[in-house]
Amino acid sequence: MLDASSNAQDIRNDFQAFEILTALQREFGEEDESEKLSLGCEGVYTRLQGITGLTLRDSFGLGQTLNNDYGRPYQTGFNTVDGVSGSAEYGRFSLYVRGEYQHAPSAAGYDPALVSILSYINGTPITSTSVHPTIPAGPIASTNVFRIMEANISYRLLDHEISFGKSDHWLAPTKGGSFLYSNNAENIYAFQIDRTEPLSVPLLSRLTGPFRYEFFVGSLKGHSAPNDPWLHTEKISFKPTANVEIGFARSTIWGGKGHAPITIHSFLKSFFSFQNVPVTQKNSRDDPGARFGTFDFSWRLPFLSHRLTLYTDSLVHDDVSPVSAPRHAGVRPGLFLSRIPGAPKFDLRVEGMSTDPPTGRSIDGDYLYVEAVQVQGYTNKSFIMGDSLGREGKGGQGWLTYHISPRELVQFEFRHSKNAKDFIPSGTTQNSFDFRVVKRLHDHLELSADVQHEWWKAPVYKPGEQTNTVATFQLTIHPEHKTAP
């Protein structure tokens, strides 16, 4: 980045190069810390989306038609998103904001009988005062709301980025989903510390290679039992060789109104708790929380000139790590071929996925992504924060991509998933094809078009096979970055 910044004037004349540099500076910080104010509108976009047929919008139960979309609202009919993003930098300080106006039509939602079934499965029996944030009970009103998608202010200190606000996280090398944290749900407001430069530990790094780590903590929304719990997440990764990267991470949901106070003491107790605790403690104010651990790695194989990468993500609940309890782990392994031999502009990626590990504990949807005390499970505002496959699911996903240019592509995707019959009565099945095109109409103007066709079965909801088609068009303007005099 030092060399790139030193040729900033040349880069400014190349729009794509400057856009990439700006993104890197926002992510890792700019080494030039002179007292200059840099202001910019990163993008202005509008997204038009038409949906025909009945969709699923219940990642904690029956499934999701549209995933990894920040928990944006969508229903059958005409949906829109209009957004703008901008940034400011001054020395070590930086500010980034992205906000959207979102519209989705009204919908019938789940009828009382289905709500009752899912409430029982989720351990929240219906009462006169019941609230079911994870169950889309009908009728569902139309959505017209302005929402902050990302907003963070940060300060660079000793190779760390210290920030507060809403930030994106994707804590895995996988593409279709990340078990611990993805963009499937709306981001949370959090305090974050991120190591931006690799850390070399004397002697140890000779074996493990350099380290990076990150930590964030914030409040979850859309929980009623208990209300307003908090989440803390930490990840450490290292590269023992140039072609291998390994990561360990953990997330814990703890506290909440009526259960345990959110204090420094309860946070530290949760942070340093690695052992199973008795039921009496789980139901007390000393509960360390619902703990989830992941292990991931990526390995560029020594075949095809290192063009083939093997990788995986894995998840356990109330165990220290999938490494110590592999039979209790959900897994998402994958292979990525960066260039197909004889067709260098094509790449191919395939992933398997399972949250139904071969253990007697994985029944009735009561193991991964769910916990007896935190009954709304691993969700924020009703969407699972990790892999949208959800609870007790299995499936696979694949992508074939043709790169027209570094920022233009044509992509074909197929996804298949099933949820177990002992979780959802009669089970669920989802299949979808997706065709996507991204085209630069001008240096500062991008058009993306996406058509997805899905067919699904969920007999507990609707008899027979259901289908839907989603057509999405987005126009994005990337204005020039500006530096104040």
| Section 44-53 average pLDDT | 98
Backbone angles phi, psi at 107, to 5 degrees: -150, 160
Residues 379, 388 contacting (CB under 8 angstroms): no
DSSP 8: H
Q: What is the pLDDT of residues 2-35, one digit of tens each?
A: 444 445 555 555 545 555 666 555 555 455 556 7
d(CA 253, CA 231): 5
Would you state the pLDDT for residue 56?
96
Q: Where are the domains of the chain?
A: 33-483
What are the CA-CA distances from residue 182 to residues 168, 386, 416 (Å)?
Answer: 8, 5, 19
pTM of the model: 0.89
Sorted by sequence, the CB contacts under 8 Å of residue 288 that are 6+ apart come out as 252, 254, 269, 270, 273, 277, 281
Helix (H, G, I), strand (E, B) or coil at 248: strand
**Bigger pLDDT: 39 vs 151:** 151
d(CA 391, CA 357): 11
d(CA 397, CA 89): 39
Q: What is the pLDDT of residues 153-202, one digit of tens each?
A: 999 999 999 999 999 999 999 999 999 999 999 999 999 999 999 999 99
d(CA 403, CA 386): 28
Q: What is the pLDDT of residues 312-353, one digit of tens each?
A: 999 999 788 999 999 999 999 999 999 999 999 999 999 999
Would you state the pLDDT for residue 307?
93
Would you state the pLDDT for residue 286?
86
Cis peptide before 139 (omega within 30 of 0): yes
Q: At the topology level of CATH, where does 33-483 sit?
A: Porin (2.40.160)
Is it the case that residue 452 has pLDDT exceeding 70?
yes
Residues 346, 385 contacting (CB under 8 angstroms): no
Would you state the pLDDT for residue 225?
79
